[in-house]
Structure 1
Amino acid sequence: DDDDDEDDEDEDEDDDYETESGSVTGIPSYSIYSSVNGSSEILISGSNNKKPAGKEAKKPSQRDADDSWRQFRHRHPSDYQEPPEDSNQTIQNTDEHEPVIDVYDHGKNATIRLDIDVQIDLAEDIAELARLNRLGWFKKGVALFEDKLKNHLDSFPVVVEYADLLLQQGEYTKALSFTEHCCVLHEHAEMYAPDEYMVLRSMNAYASIFATGTLLPALEALKGMSEFMKKEKLDSLKATK
């Protein structure tokens, strides 16, 4: 009789818990045990939602449920990430001139056009050209200019070093033609600073004296340089006051 009473009590305890089972795509099956006093406990039971034949579901402990839940969270962290904000709203919040890529649009390729100013470092080549000029190795200097520097006439160090090389080796006609060409380029694009342009004009006048035997270009260059120096002096005095 005592055994029968214990069995009846076990059945009564089992009746106090109503079992509700369900499954979610990508989430293991779960069982929710609702007690009569309103509390509930969760058991993560794996992907199979069916109970084994001949066995009754047992009331899980809170610790087992918490451990199973943490393990599932660890295996599937992406299922609990916050949904991304609307990509259109993100684009609206950015500057209209700023390139924008929709990072959530993985189905299309994005092509962005960027205008970048590229500058080439000519310091080593210019230093080598000056060294060859000092040593009198003019042919190597001309070869270096033709190979690497002839397309960089907007750089004043390139222009002045090569013009000086031509003057040093007595190529006055070439020096005259080269400096005149650079002066014309400056008049159209203003590639050089005012003082640099004055130096270029003086080298052109010097080459003109030996190439043509005339002094008029040299006198005009001298007059222009004198006016430039007076203007620079006045600007300097105004700046100090």
Structure 2
Amino acid sequence: MSTFKVMQFNMQFGQIWDDSGTVQAPIDLDLTIAEIRSFDADIIILQEVEHALPGGVQLDPPPNYTRLKAALEGYHSYFSYPKADPRELPFGIGLAIFSRTPLRDMFRMELPSPPIEFEFEGEKKTPTDRLLIGAKTTLYGREVQLFNTHLLAYFMLNSSSERHLQQRQLVVEQLRRTHGPTLIAGDFNVSNRDSLIHQFADAGYRSVQTTEVTWRHRPFVLDHIFHSRHLRPVRYTVKPTSASDHHILLAEFEFQK
């Protein structure tokens, strides 16, 4: 049976990992690109592609995505910023899907964030909205629905997505509308992974792995590749990288007979 490889990576806009954990670590997009290319994945799903700019400015064309497209020659791709918002903090934004096979039926859906107040650099803030994107492709004659998301990190705001379920529910509702082979990868930003795993299992989706830590700052499994019953994971691996504060998650799939 033929297999295909999927990469899940929060690339943190090319900012390398510094053991001090500083937000001032240098950006090295060449390293990010080299890491992505080295794994030779058929499907590449990326979060935090771009660096958020002051005032919610969004450059067009997106500079990092433009460089990625040039470096990943032969791949088809789709990128989307979240809704422009002057409240955007200077971290990573923007989702991308790359595929060796053509993409079609691309879409984006905004995931509203609740007005939870938090302090950032001495000022009161509220979080900006998040995003779900999707596209379809055909692999070995089978149509596959792909999704990519990056949810709000409620644990960074002294709250939890168990108390604020809307973003997760919107994603699950979208998953329930699909009926064939489907993958959703992303940075789910859920510290209590058990609640996420059970919620997605109720919708018919399983994560390829739930135990290996994928984030350097805290021992959390934030990154997942969930799959529908039509796909079987053959193998997976979590690959540490100095190209981000997230590790790379790789999974190889085959179609269920």
Normalising by the smaller structure, the TM-score range is under 0.3
Structure with more relative contact order (C-alpha pairs < 8 Å, separation 6 or more): 2
TM-score between both structures, scaled by the size of structure 2: 0.22
Determine which structure has more spread, i.e. the larger CA radius of gyration: 1
